[in-house]
Structure formats: structure tokens, C-alpha cells
A and B are shown apart, each in its own frame.
Chain A
Amino acid sequence: MTYAVVAEGLVKHYGTVRALDQLDLAVPEGTVLGVLGPNGAGKTTAVRVLTTLLRPDAGRAEVAGIDVLADPARARDSLGVSGQYAAVDEHLTGFENLDMIGRLYHLGRRASRARARELLEQFDLSDAGDRPSKTYSGGMRRRLDLAGALVARPPVLFLDEPTTGLDPRSRGDMWDVITTLVEGGTSLLLTTQYLEEADRLADNIIVVDHGKVIAEGTADQLKAQVGGERLEVVIADQARLVEARVLLEDSRPGGVAEVDEHVRRITLPSDRGTAGLIEAVRRLDAAGIEVQDIGIRRPTLDDAFLSLTGHGASAERAGHQADDSRGGSRGGGTDSSGSGAGDPGTDGAGQRARGGHPEHQTDGRQRRAGEHVMARKEI
């Protein structure tokens, strides 16, 4: 297999914080790698290293077969990057922004202008092309920034959280644009904290937390790690829960159901798809048990992320700072020396870490549930 991007053992420290901790990744040519992780997981640092903006403390990286550390100038020739914060010059029009980049690539006046118009057209910015980009909406700026990364048609593209902060519609537009690019053969490394985005755009996904890869695979494989399909039944009458459970377990020998009495929900593994669903409905109906809701539920990447990291993908507001300042020792009970030495005083995160830590330990389940909801909301 030919790889558009390869990174091995990337390490980068910021003071005592390990932003990258032996990070490995690879993007086979013509595919999309989704780098999924919460804020502060090291995604942006990894992109900056791979796009020659930052030198790692250790490790090696190649883009389009060129060693990024040994020959950054040549690597820049083959890559395009669009960052988390749209790097457009707001005093320049969309056209001028793109034309300037074209000239910097030695495209020549005519070719540069033609390419700028072409990209404006492609990114649905033609009407706004001659307005200063400070008048653009957030989504338009992002598209312009992405267009800027594409001026020289780089074979390898890096997108750092391309839809963070965009409204749902702009996000959908951006996804369409990215899908088109990938169909055109561009190799793409995409970072995101949105599970849905990785699910939708990426061929392969790596889940990054605290600067290292904690899981990888296709979206389906990651979901499978959490467990297969499940049949979920909510019945109307709480008094008949036990009866319903026995009925359902009988329909699937060996299957053990979980029961949530508060919401009158029974969940059990299901590998027979709709056939199992139909049989469950029949049995419950025959017994006269009223079904309020029934369905087959496939685990989402949210579920995968929660089970892999112990915290939600978009949980930085709730607990990410605390998690980060504790370095790699998440979940351990003996990490106080590590965090105590490093973080108090640096940016206040240490304070929050110490405050948030016990809560995280003792009340983990409840908080996870809360974060889960937040993650869903953001999507």
C-alpha cells in the first residue's frame, strides 16, 4: 500500500505537558483518516507537525513520501492545510486571498486568477468573491480557507477541525465539499471532535487522547468494539417488565437482557436484525404487553468514544481541562504527584484538576451520562 501520510513515534512537549506521546498514524493514498479526539488531545499539534509548522521533539513523519523533518520545503509543495481558525486575510476579498496564494505558488498572473475564480465557483463563493472576506460568515470563511489550501491542487490535504463552530447547515455544506474533494482522489487527514463527522467522512479513524492513539479502525470496527446490535424495547406498564424480559430472553436463547426500570426499557443483544425484532413484537403482542417503543440500536461512535476514553468526545467544558492536566494517568488513583508537579500555576487547569478529580472518580457514571448528552447536543 502507498501512504500519503505516515507518522511514527511523534513526541512533542509543551513544558511539562505531553501534547504528543508516541503518536503513530498512517493515511493510505486516496483515503480519509479521521483523527478523533477531544480538545487538547493533540490533534492540532499533530497537524502542525505534519504540515511542517512545528518540529516534534522526537519521531518521524512523511507526507507524499517526503520526510517532513529533513525536507520541509519540498513537503510543503505536496500538502495543503486548512486550520481550525480560518487563516484568511479579512481585508482582502475572497478573490484576492486566493490570487495571492496562487502568485506565491508561481502560478503566473493569468493562471492564478483563473484558479481563484474556479475555486470561488467550486466553493459557492462566486457572489461574494469580490467582497472583503471580513464580511463573510463563519462558514464562508472556512470554505475560503479550504479553497486557499487547494490552490495548487496538493495531493495531500490536512483539515484541522474544519467544521468546529459552524452551524449545522454550513457543516453540511462543508461535508459536501470535502466529499467531492475525496472523490477527486485527494488524500485527507481530518481532525474532528465530532463523532458524526468522522463517521461520515473517514475511511479509517484513529481515536486520540492525551497525545496517543487509543483505538483505531473503521467506524464500524470501532462501534463493534463497544458491542454489536442491540434490541431495545420500552413497554408501557412497569409491572409487566419481568414478564416481558423473560419473553424476550426466551426468544433469544443465551441472551441476557438488561433492564432499566425507571424508563421501562429492556435491552438485549441481537444478531438477527429485523427478524429478531419482528419475533419480539409478536411475542409481546401475543402476551398482551403494550409496547411503547421498539427498535434495533447500533452503537454510535459516541458510545465507542465513551467506552474507549471514559469521557465524551466533546467533554472539554466539563472535564477535559482536568483530564489533560493529569497527563496520561487518567483514572488512576496515584497520579497526584504527576499533576501536582506539573500544572498548578501554569494556567489554572491544575486548580480545576484538583477540584474536579474526586468528582470524576466517585461519580464517574453520572458525569459520563451528562457528557454524553453534551456530545449529542453539539452534533
Chain B
Amino acid sequence: MTATAVHPTESTQPTSRAGELTDEGSTLRHAIALAKRSLIKTWRTPEALVDVTLQPVIFILMFTYIFGGAIAGGSQHEYLQFLLPGVLGQTVAMAGIALGVNLNTDIEKGVFDRFRSLPISRSAPLVGAVLADVVRYLILFVMCLGTGLIVGFHVGTNPLAVLAALGISVAFALCFCWISVWVGMIARTSGAVQGIMFLLVLPLSFVSNAFVPTATMPSWLAQVADVNPISHLVGTVRGLMVGGPVASNLLWTLGWMAVLLLVFVPLALRAYRRRA
């Protein structure tokens, strides 16, 4: 046998196991199997949940009792009513960071090489990881609301509206986290993912209506804050939990969600495919 003159005379019969495994329905099935993996991981490393458990608690307490008096002219309770949806919006954006960090680590460790050598669709591992993140966002919402209720937050609407607030928060989080997925694919180290995402999320969440009304900002800054997707999410949640108009903010939020998906899902998938 010489390697240069080898021609296959006959192909070996591939053992057909499940035929083509890469159609749409299969992608979802694979994503769910892979989401289970992420959930087991979360379950075994509960310390990785601090960003959706302790972080919102600390933010709510800090902003209410340290800044609340100054910002709202002495009424900490009044500020809490304003603040709680704001903290929710900020922590929703921050909670997505861990996803990009974890994906980056997984790729570095070679875990994804296994997935890529399996007859599953290339997007399944990413979609699976995003799906598993739903649990984290649910925990986040419960922690925010629970802490708020304990320190005196008052729901000004009804339970259905609160459920709707939960729904839109989680849905927004699932769209927003694709930025993190994308950064996780292109950054070389997990530390870099964290750094880049903080650099993005911190200004984005503060240049918004999350902590102060945008009217108090210089007009150019207020204009930026008013188109910020986090402002629209926070506005929607305020309307649903405290009371007030919802429709406009909700439409803006849905629009932003669509934009985030349309832009960052393809970017993330392309970066994932390229990353060998």
C-alpha cells in the first residue's frame, strides 16, 4: 500500500443509526439534551448563581438605603417603587454575562469538540446553553421581587400583570444573552468575555431609566437613554408591576428583542462555526 496511489475501490457501509439527525425538530431535541447538561452543571455549582441570587439583593438594598434618600428626596420607599424594575433590568443584562464566559470555557476545554463531531446541528450546543439559562432568569426574577416585597415594595397591579412582567423579562434576557454568546465565541479567554461584557453592560444599564428618570440627565444623554433597550424593558416592567402605561414601551421592547436576535444569533453562530 502506498499512500499516494490509494483510491477507494468501494465504500464501507455506514451503520445507519438514525439517518439524518439534523432536521429542525432534531435541533430542538438536541438543544434540550444539551440544556439538561447545563442545568446539571448549574445544580452542582450553586455558587455560580450568585449573579442571579445575591447580586440583585445587594443592589436593591444598596440603592434603596444608600442612594434612595438622596435620589428621591428622603423617601426611600418611593424610590424602591421606582428602583425595583430598574435593578431587574440591570441584573437581567448582567446575568447573561456568565453564559458567554461558560461557553468560552467549554470551547477552550474541548468539550465542544465532542459535540461538533456528533451528527447534530451545529447550532444545538448554543441553543441548548441559552435554553438552560431560562432557569437562571426565573431565579433572578423571583429573587428581585422577593427582596423587594420584604423591604416594602408594593405591587400596584395584579398577579397576572406580574406574571407578564416575568414573561417579558425572561424573554428579553433570552434575546439579550446572545450578545454574550457572540462575545464568548470571539474572545480568546473567558476573562476577556467577562471584561468586554461588563464594559458593555455597565454603561448600558446606567445610561437608562433604571435608577433615575432620564429627564434629570443632560438632554443628549437622555436621548441615548430613551432609546436604550434596557430603558424600554424597565419601562414595561414598571408599567406591569407598579402601574402606568405599558403599550409603547412593550412594543419598543419587542422590537429590540427582534433586533437583538436578528443581529446576534447569526453573528454568534457564524463565530461558533469559524472557531475551530
Contacts and interface: CB of A to CB of B under 8 A. Distances in A.
B12 A86 contact: no
A152 B17 contact: yes
Contacts of B40: 91-92, 96
B113 A28 contact: no
Interface in B201-259: none
Contacts of A78: 12, 14-15
Interface string A18-52: 00000011101100000000000000000010011
Interface residues of B, number: 46
Contacts of A100: 33-34, 36-37
B75 interface: no
Given A2-B12, A92-B41, A96-B40, A105 B1 contact: no
B3 interface: yes
A76 B117 contact: yes
A132 B113 contact: no
Contacts of B116: 52-53
B24 interface: no
Please report whether the interface of chain A is mostly helix, strand, loop or mixed according to DSSP: mixed
B18 A105 contact: yes
Contact of B22 (A6, A66, A73): A73
Contact of A87 (B1, B10, B15, B113): B113
A165 B210 CA distance: 52
Interface in B175-189: none
B110 A87 contact: yes
B218 to A, nearest CB: 46
Contacts of A28: 1
A79 interface: yes
A118 interface: no
Given A65-B12, A91-B44, A73 B117 contact: no
A77 interface: yes
A33 to B, nearest CB: 10
A74 interface: yes
B20 interface: yes
Contact of B119 (A26, A53, A73, A87): A73
A365 to B, nearest CB: 31
Contact of B118 (A101, A155, A206): A101
Contacts of A101: 114, 118
B120 to A, nearest CB: 5
B33 A2 contact: no
A64 interface: yes
Interface string B115-130: 1111110001000000
Contact of B1 (A86, A88, A204): A204
A24 B6 CA distance: 9
A64 B14 contact: yes
A2 B1 contact: no
Interface in A77-105: 77-81, 83, 85-89, 91-92, 96, 100-101, 103-105
A6 B6 contact: yes
Interface string B3-31: 11011111111111110111000100110
Contact of B3 (A26, A66, A106): A26
A62 B14 contact: no
B139 interface: no
Task: Return the 7 tightest CB-CB contacts between A and B, nearest first.
Answer: A65-B11, A24-B3, A26-B6, A78-B14, A87-B114, A91-B41, A76-B119
7 contacts: A4-B12, A25-B3, A64-B13, A73-B20, A85-B110, A87-B109, A104-B115
Interface of B: 1-4, 6-18, 20-22, 26, 29-30, 33-34, 36-37, 40-41, 44-45, 106, 109-120, 124, 276
Interface of A: 1-4, 6, 8, 24-26, 28-29, 48, 51-54, 62, 64-66, 73-74, 76-81, 83, 85-89, 91-92, 96, 100-101, 103-106, 132, 145, 148-149, 152-156, 187, 204, 206, 213, 216
Given A26-B6, A53-B117, A54-B276, 5 more contacts: A1-B9, A3-B6, A51-B117, A96-B40, A155-B15
